[in-house]
Amino acid sequence: MSKLASVLINDFLGDSSKPSIKFFRSNGAYGYMIWLILMNKHFEKKNISIEELVTSVASYASRRTVIHFINKGVEGQFIKKINSIEDKRKNLIEPTDITIKEYSDWSNKFINSIT
């Protein structure tokens, strides 16, 4: 357990050269949760709407805060907003290529460091 705690501490203090990871982590628990939920949905090949994401992190941030965070992520080119094909009124979000690449690099390094 000590090794895991040490790895987590070093990970948090470590490499901040990945802009997408820095963005998601710079906004407390809700930013980190949005990042993990977004990446999980991406790798499961499932869509997630803005409203579903707001509901998922409701205990960490208000709707307004989450929407503002998503908009900042779109401006920073870490998140993409797309219209749902099934329901044009629904906005879906997904990670950009840079977010996917940086997450993949980070997760591979993280997994290797704890095994």
What pLDDT score does 15 carry?
Answer: 62
pLDDT in tens, the chain (115 residues): 577 788 778 777 766 678 998 899 888 889 999 999 999 999 999 999 999 999 999 999 999 999 999 999 999 999 999 998 888 888 999 999 999 999 999 889 888 887 7
Complete domains list, the chain, with CATH: 2-114 (1.10.10.10)
Q: 68-78: per-residue pLDDT in tens?
A: 999 999 999 99
How many whole angstroms separate alpha carbon 15 and alpha carbon 55?
Answer: 31
Helix, strand, or coil (residue 6)? helix
